[in-house]
Amino acid sequence: MTSDQFPKLMPATYRWQTSKTNSRTIERRAIGTEAWVGIKDENYKGQYDLFLNTTLRVQVESTKTPLSLASLKKAVTTVLVELRFEHPESAGTAVWDDQGPLLQYTPPESAEDALSWAEAAIELWFTVKTGFEVRKEIGRRRKEPGSVFSGHAKSLTVHLVADVPSEHAPLVPGATVDVLMHMNHIFWDGISARMFVGSLLRKLQTELSDNQKPKQLDWGRETKNISQPILDAAKVDVTSLGKDFEDAREEFLQSLMAFANSWAMDLKVDVGAPSTEFRTFTAAESRAIIQAVKARLGPGYTISHLGQAATALALLKANPIPEDVSGIPSIIMPLPVNGRRFLKDEYVQGQYGACQAGAVVQFRDARSFLVDDDEKSAVISMLAKGCRISKEQYDYWLSKPFQMAVNISKDNFLASFLSANPQEASSKAVPVFISDGVNDRFIPGNIIDSTTNKTIMTVDNVAFFTDSYMPGLLVRMESWKGVTSIGLSYNDGTFTAEQAVTLLKYIMGYMLVFTQ
């Protein structure tokens, strides 16, 4: 590919500016991850939508206001208004023109207008369903002809889910409430989603325990709080990038193009609904895995490297390479990586939006990774080899100071190409592994009444997952309160729950072998 196919990254092109159609609206052109997850037809379907399900368990009989779905909605409404002022992207919308998506924000005309927006952003579910099952219902609704979910381009919706007969029924001690956050990926990534939910729960704690009057917010001034355009926030001056950047981008693209020929899982090609299966290690198992990685490989290695290696071995176990397959197949896994390490220090902690870099992990000559599960020492040796490869290639890509810019340039090209050349669904998919890290960094473990110091609700579980209306397998690992879990997101028209559970068992089984 030639550099002519990649327009220079010009920060001015992607800055916020006043809309030509509404002087109260600010807008900017989507860039990088935003651009390719914002391809119009796919975004309308809900492709790559993000979900964060937080399970709260009631601990006390009552707070300043007796708990019910209705009272929680009132409290969350107040919180959302405050969060909109602090993070206006939460009330953003996306529109499309002939150049792709534009991200827009329009300040509310009044406090009442802001309140109405927050109320409309919350949906109550008094049902026996869990938040995970509500997510499936949302997917089914979006597939219905003429569904109100079609063309969904707002930033977020908060679903409050509880097994109660009505919204006014009391939430007694022991009752659970799932707070299911549904987010459009064009505005968010996995990190900013967690940051937002953490802020929501901390403010909810204040709202449930303090008798404070609503804050007086000077609407219109909140536009100063919107996240900095990504190229302006980056450490590197993208206007001065030269041949070393172009060479790295070419190498990165060649690695990604090789992904099409990776050894993969066989899938059906059918239209189904998004689904995710989760499995969890025990706390003791989680500790043992982390300790084993450090003990066997050294302090620079993490459970993420082991998860990557275990996913490769699980793929080979689920779909072994037949002897009659010609050539030397490899396993190639592109993966998104938190890009905030490439931002200026003042933006690292508060940058919302989609801020992603990328890496590619390649297990060349996949046949050489085939191993007999009964030979535990051989399995451990192969996992260690996979860990070293994973770390080496993570480090290789992420050591480049301009790697986020490489990823942005690649995504801009990808968005333009795919918009003009829609792709046929593939009957193959590589399980792509992503390590989301420790949720406790962003989300509080309890909601505590500040006046009595009693715990109102505990946060029992946090789970992040994505939607896919196309063939694909996305493996995400995260931890909460010392417990590591792994989720596999897929489309149930192409892959079954039984297959997903089996693949997860293989991955987790290999990780546990490493502790022996």
DSSP label of 260: G
The reported pLDDT for the residue numbered 149 is: 46
Tens digits of per-residue pLDDT, 11-57?
999 999 999 999 999 999 999 999 999 999 889 888 899 999 999 99
Tens digits of per-residue pLDDT, 246-271?
999 999 999 988 888 999 999 988 87
3-state secondary structure of 363: strand
Residues 132-150: what's their mean pLDDT? 76
Query: Domains along the chain?
Result: 25-210 (3.30.559.10)
Residues 97-110: what's their mean pLDDT? 95
How far is the C-alpha of 71 from the C-alpha of 67, rounded, in Å? Answer: 6
How far is the C-alpha of 393 from the C-alpha of 433, rounded, in Å? Answer: 14
Report which of 313, 331, 322 is spatially closest to residue 373, judged by C-alpha positions: 313
How far is the C-alpha of 24 from the C-alpha of 464, rounded, in Å? Answer: 34
The reported pLDDT for the residue numbered 63 is: 65
Tens digits of per-residue pLDDT, 474-506?
999 999 999 999 999 999 999 999 999 999 999
Q: Label the pairing between strands 122-126 and 156-162.
A: parallel
Backbone angles phi, psi at 423, to 5 degrees: -100, 145
Q: Label the pairing between strands 265-266 and 176-183.
A: unpaired
3-state secondary structure of 241: coil
CA distances from 384 to 297, 464, 474 (A): 7, 28, 23
**Percent above pLDDT 90 for the chain:** 82
Residues 129-148: what's their mean pLDDT? 82
Q: Name the burial class of residue 282, with classes exposed (0-12), middle (13-18) and buried (19+) by CB atoms within 10 angstroms of its CB.
A: exposed
pLDDT at 342 over 70: yes
Report which of 248, 451, 436 is spatially closest to residue 337, judged by C-alpha positions: 436
pTM above 0.75, yes or no: yes
